């Protein structure tokens, strides 16, 4: 794994931090793509001292901002220029109604739009002759994530979170299909109900969650297990376009895997890339390799 370069978004805490630790322990070069640089640097030092792998670094990324994504990609190009593994982990489940700087509902703008834009702009850096892996964090509540494009700004909190994760699932399936035979696998993982701060809302009912529900949550080590496995295991190349519920491969009911909806979401998302390097060209290049 010593020659592999991995990016983990939102790696300063929670599942992302544990995943970064796991990949560093496997000997990879790990880029922790985080918006909170103070806690990211502390987490980075901790990971280096735990794993004795000095090739772990922090880079600035606010995934809810198009400009920040563009700057991150530019920086990454200059510092590393090649990529093997992308873990799209950064995410929120927020009640905050304020839109992102790019005018999206915050759950959708962070969890889906940011993931889409970052992934598409990083595709050219996946190495030609080496296999690549993209792992997207989703949630099993995607099943309540039905959405309409004209209502994108109307969804709130938990519903918006579910919509965003359903979108990431559809994106995973579509990208896996489009990258078939390119050597890049794309899979989605629901990590389980993990004891992290995303489970809390900073409202009075946090006490109830803490007292009654949290004993049933799993810890980050267990939550990150399948992500680390997919990123490091030799046989992972054989699977793409698969949804894992923790470590189990799960079938996606046909009603959630509409080719029409996938195509519509692809078209909608592609329009967001209009001023970016042309995605279709990137995909064609990948397919040729």
Residue numbers annotated as active site: 161
Residue closer to ligand NAP by CB (options 35, 286) is 35
Residue closer to ligand NAP by CB (options 127, 140) is 140
Q: What is the token pair recorded at 200?
A: 């809390």
Token pair 């496995």: residue: 229
Q: Which residues of 230-257 are buried (b: 16+ CB within 10 A; e: fewer)?
A: bbbeeebeebbbbbbebeeeeebeeebe
What is the contact surface with ligand NAP in residues (CB under 6 A)? 9-10, 12-16, 34-36, 39, 61-64, 89-92, 110, 137, 139, 190-191, 193-194, 196-199
CA atoms within 13 A on the CB side of 253: 7
Q: Is 197 within 8 Å of 93 (Cβ atoms)? A: no
Q: Is 53 within 8 Å of 175 (Cβ atoms)? A: no
Residue closer to ligand NAP by CB (options 132, 191) is 191
Residue closer to ligand NAP by CB (options 213, 264) is 213
Instruction: Name 60's bridge partners.
Output: 34
Other C-beta atoms lying within 10 Å of the C-beta of residue 218: 14
Token pair 């290049």: residue: 285
Other C-beta atoms lying within 10 Å of the C-beta of residue 136: 26
Element (H, E) at 46: helix 37-51
Closest contact distance (angstroms) between CB of 16 and ligand NAP is 5
User: How far apart are the C-alpha atoms of 133 and 156, rounded to whole Å?
Assistant: 32
Residues in the chain: 289
Q: What is the token pair recorded at 202?
A: 């900073």
For residue 280, what are the contacts with CB-CB under 8 A and spacing of at least 6? none
Residue closer to ligand NAP by CB (options 51, 110) is 110
Residue closer to ligand NAP by CB (options 35, 66) is 35
For residue 3, what are the contacts with CB-CB under 8 A and spacing of at least 6? none
């Amino acid at each position: 794994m010593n020659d592999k370069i991995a990016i983990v978004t939102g790696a300063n805490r929670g599942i992302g931090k544990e995943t970064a630790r796991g990949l560093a322990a496997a000997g990879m070069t790990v880029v922790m793509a985080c918006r909170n640089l103070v806690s990211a640097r502390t987490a980075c030092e901790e990971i280096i001292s735990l794993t004795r792998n000095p090739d772990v670094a922090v880079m600035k990324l606010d995934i809810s901002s198009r400009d920040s994504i563009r700057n991150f990609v530019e920086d990454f190009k200059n510092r590393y220029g090649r990529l093997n593994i992308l873990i799209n982990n950064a995410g929120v489940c927020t009640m905050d109604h304020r839109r992102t700087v790019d005018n999206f509902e915050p759950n959708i703008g962070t969890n889906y739009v940011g993931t889409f834009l970052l992934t598409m702009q990083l595709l050219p850096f996946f190495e030609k002759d080496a296999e690549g892996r993209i792992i997207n964090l989703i949630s099993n509540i995607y099943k309540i994530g039905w959405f309409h494009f004209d209502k994108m700004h109307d969804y709130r909190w938990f519903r918006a979170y579910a919509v965003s994760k359903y979108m990431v699932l559809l994106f995973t399936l579509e990208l896996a299909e489009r990258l078939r035979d390119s050597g890049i696998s794309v899979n989605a993982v629901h990590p389980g109900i993990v004891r992290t701060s995303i489970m809390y809302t900073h409202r009075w009912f946090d006490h109830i969650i803490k007292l009654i529900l949290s004993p049933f949550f799993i810890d980050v080590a267990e939550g990150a297990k399948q992500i680390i496995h997919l990123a490091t295991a030799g046989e992972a190349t054989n699977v793409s376009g698969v949804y894992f519920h923790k470590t189990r491969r799960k079938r996606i009911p046909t009603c959630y895997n509409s080719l029409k909806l996938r195509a519509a979401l692809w078209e909608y998302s592609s329009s967001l890339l209009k001023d970016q390097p042309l995605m279709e060209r990137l995909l064609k290049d990948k397919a040729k390799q």
